[in-house]
Amino acid sequence: MRDRVSGEKRAEAMAGRVVLVTGATRGLGRAIVAGMIAAGHTVIGCGRSAEAVAALSQQYSSPHRFDVVDVARDCQVAEWSEAVLSAGLVPDLLLNNAAVMNATKPLWEISGREFQEIIDVNIAGVANVIRHFVPAIIERRTGVIVNFSSGWGRSTSPDVAPYCATKFAIEGLTMALAQELPPGLAAIPLNPGIIDTDMLRSCWADGASAYPSAEEWAEVAVPYLLKLTARDNGRQLAVPV
């Protein structure tokens, strides 16, 4: 109990907000980390690569915190949340960004194993983070939860059916969550827009370079995310890139 209380005092003493980012080691997540820290906020992040997490931890020391976590593994998320919350780091802004893309091919050519991995990360991973962090946010009575969707969560294209399915699911999951939250909180499904990342290049290599880099995107996205409030609860939003 003493550790929990002292952790809460440390959190209160820190300037800015506590921002939690999943999938923090690459792409949009990595760009968000840099942007939020530059803006004076404390960032809690996770990723599956121990090497990438170590690099982030070396670049950004305490009060920032980065851990090796596979969000698809509920037990890992549970352990992570216990450590983070015990340190008094209750997120003001929770960004469920971690996601994977399927190999671009027709749905019937996607193996059961690949399909399940996409479901486990893109849907169950989001639910796992919500399960273990949102009760503390509710207890504090304020906070914003942003679940990253996609343009492919509101429209479809061939050869990305599994990814589309997961992002359509995120839209529905988030809208239902928004109806469940008490006043003072918000859940928002966010289309980040089209950004030149490794994920986009994996399915559209020829056209990816026509779009902003993750770093360019973050210059717009970070201020946009920080302006979200409880008034945005349940709104289907998009970063204006």
Q: Give CA–CA dist 167/151, Å, rounded.
A: 8
Q: Residue with structure tokens 């294209």?
A: 157
Residue 88, sorted as left (phi over 0), alpha (psi -120 to 50) or beta, turns out to be left
Residues pairing with 186 in the sheet: 144
Q: Give CA–CA dist 88/9, Å, rounded.
A: 7
From the candidates 60, 163, 211, 224, give the one annotated as an active-site residue.
Answer: 163
Torsion, CA 5, CA 11, CA 14, CA 19, rounded to 10: 180
CA angle 16–91–141, rounded 5-degree value:
100
Tell me the two tokens of residue 204: 């559209």
Q: Are 15 and 39 in contact (CB under 8 A)?
A: no
Q: Give CA–CA dist 216/60, Å, rounded.
A: 20
3-state secondary structure of 20: strand
Q: Give CA–CA dist 165/118, Å, rounded.
A: 10
Active site residue 224: no
Name the amino acid, one letter, at 227. K
Q: Which residues are catalytic?
A: 163
